[in-house]
Structure 1
């Protein structure tokens, strides 16, 4: 379906990076960014369906409006099917471990890399730059571990700015030219697609330890979110990463979708996967 696909994931709440053959990136400042951001925002307009207690949950895009590891599970469930995904779930969920898989039938390689803090992400991105081996699709996210263990929004913001500077190094510089006999043209350069996996809605009263309830408050969540937007890491603020808004999706699903106030039912991540894939299609079509 996509040709050659590689997928990678880094985890701090979840860091996922995914190489996909059809990928490309838009200029970081133009009217097309506004249009792209509008489209991505609309893709988060979903509704979750609850029939009866213990019944299967489902989601759909709202028809009346324009259109962590858990994310990886949802992605693999879509690509492999639920039964095959269940067979590898134990390996994927080994605590604080990396995971990789090659799906031969569609030529996709996925790497999940455990990287719980923004500083870990910076080290990994720097490694990609040094090795010149960055993925086609790159999905990263960090915040919950930092919020619990470090609990300093200002330091988090400083780390995000450094990460943003390093991510920009992975973008190609259109400086190569070729003479085709009719004139000199720019060489087409493959560009990675970057996504930021946002933090979920935190329901403080449901958090399962006193430490989490004391540190992971709505006030601190907002402070961390403010630092993310002011870091200029996201497309919305002129940065390189498109937001996968897990907060918006988990908030729509609500308390019925979580048992501990921070980890949500797979249906939330199913929706996020479809948002990402549709963004890739939107961007690909804009290049035609």
Structure 2
């Protein structure tokens, strides 16, 4: 029996040469028309023969696949460059008092690094309107310790006017408490959940699953309290592994009903708020200076990587690297060696927003 290639060639000869011969017989006086007809028939035959030649079809497939890979690679490359931020920290005025050398004496500003690779990603500092468009109708949950609380405040500062921010500060910074607010003009809800330990975060995620209600954006981070009160990196790592398993079960999210039907629900965007750089000499208690050393912090950071929490290690959460942002801003950006000026968390918020733009293939 003839193979597929032989049958294809035979069919091609019939389709190609019979019409061409007829066209040559009737249209020999019109060479342009004859050539056009021959070209059309040849192209049609070529299209039909392509599947019979693996090398040709493989080439076409590889070209289309490579174009998709370029897009994916570009997105991944831009995500990896989100923290390429440089700082300008300069003395405010000329009356410098070395006995009062705190952060308020310095003006700080930040921008993305000027390089071809970073500029090609077109990162943006979003204004209030941009953020309103991006987060319109969203439920945002920020969970963690005091670092997460300042991060939530920085996010709200992009969507609220100064008068609204004054009322937020008094309520949001009530010690060790949750906070809820709604921004009516953009239909956004924000919840800050006080969750100083990883076990608190795990319970929070379990609550989402139990109630079958999920935020659109979830930012969480924990570690400083565990470092201070337990000083046990291994135990911290075990807690992170449990949290990772719980968070992973949110993806993809589905809601199950009694009639055995399931309805797909949009998966939340997940971010991990990294711990800040600790300036040991500036920590405000003896206990903190003894327990929260660079060595201990390094052990805790390694547990975060080892746990597989982060997307760069095939985990579910995108890192917001407050550690690198605070390190690059420096000691002039903190008064107590742990909590940094709002501008550091502002930069982290813009990193997150641009990550959302990349994930959703949007440009504002």
TM-score by length of 1: 0.80
Out of 317, 321, 324, the position equivalent to 1:245 is 321
Number of equivalent positions: 247
Mapped pair 1:203 → 2:279: yes
Distance 1:33 1:209 in 2: 48
Distance 1:274 1:71 in 2: 11
Do the aligned partners of 1:37 and 1:235 also contact (CA within 8 Å) in 2? no
Distance 2:285 2:255 in 1: 53
Q: Please show how residues 81-120 of structure 1 align to structure 2 within 5 Å.
A: 81-120=161-200
- The 3 A distance-change label for structure 1 pair 86 and 241 is same
Paired residue secondary structure (1:191) = coil
Paired residue secondary structure (1:138) = strand
Structure 2 unmatched ranges of 5 or more: 1-68, 93-104, 119-147, 257-262
Once the two structures are TM-superposed, the CA of residue 66 in structure 1 deviates from its matched residue by 3.3
Matched with 2:204 is 124
Matched with 2:107 is 56
Matched with 2:154 is 74
Distance 1:203 1:34 in 2: 37
CA-to-aligned-CA distance 1:173-200 (integer Å, 9 cap, x gap): 6999xxxxxxxxxx97511110000000
Do the aligned partners of 2:253 and 2:264 also contact (CA within 8 Å) in 1? no
Distance 1:216 1:62 in 2: 31
Aligned-residue RMSD, C-alpha: 2.3
Matched with 2:295 is 219
Do the aligned partners of 1:40 and 1:275 also contact (CA within 8 Å) in 2? no
Once the two structures are TM-superposed, the CA of residue 60 in structure 1 deviates from its matched residue by 1.2
Deviating 4+ runs (over 4 angstroms): 30-37, 173-176
Paired residue secondary structure (2:325) = helix
Matched with 2:130 is none
- The 3 A distance-change label for structure 1 pair 37 and 201 is farther
Mapped pair 1:230 → 2:310: no
Paired residue secondary structure (1:239) = coil
Once the two structures are TM-superposed, the CA of residue 64 in structure 1 deviates from its matched residue by 2.9
Distance 2:80 2:167 in 1: 34
Matched with 2:13 is none
Distance 1:175 1:205 in 2: 50
Do the aligned partners of 2:151 and 2:349 also contact (CA within 8 Å) in 1? yes
Paired residue secondary structure (1:219) = helix
Relative contact order, higher structure (CA 8 A, sep 6+): 1
Matched with 1:47 is 86
Distance 2:307 2:158 in 1: 33
Once the two structures are TM-superposed, the CA of residue 70 in structure 1 deviates from its matched residue by 1.0
CA-to-aligned-CA distance 1:89-113 (integer Å, 9 cap, x gap): 0110000000010001011000001
Once the two structures are TM-superposed, the CA of residue 170 in structure 1 deviates from its matched residue by 1.0
Matched with 1:18 is none
Matched with 1:13 is none
Larger radius of gyration: 2
Structure 1 unmatched ranges of 5 or more: 1-29, 177-186
Do the aligned partners of 1:37 and 1:236 also contact (CA within 8 Å) in 2? no
Do the aligned partners of 1:33 and 1:235 also contact (CA within 8 Å) in 2? no
